[in-house]
Amino acid sequence: MKEFLSASLKLQSINPVTEKKTTVTLRDLTQDAPAAEVEAVRDALQSVTDEPIGKTTSVETYFYG
């Protein structure tokens, strides 16, 4: 049996001058979030951050029992 437990969205940006990485993590994402909606969230956050978001990752966790 496979049971969905949780999902999160991680967005990472890197300052080109200092090479400092910044990560924003959003938890309680829905299972199988549509790519268009994930991209919309990324684009909305991009408009309020100083550095460009270069990496977006969705992580889903399941229980197998």
pLDDT < 50 stretches in the chain: none
Q: Is this prediction's pTM over 0.95?
A: no
Distance CA 53, CA 65 (A): 37
pLDDT at 49: 87
pLDDT at 24: 93
pLDDT at 5: 96
pLDDT at 29: 92
User: How far is the CA of 9 from the CAs of 4, 30, 42, 43, 65, in angstroms?
Assistant: 15, 10, 9, 13, 25
**CB 53 within 8 Å of CB 10:** no
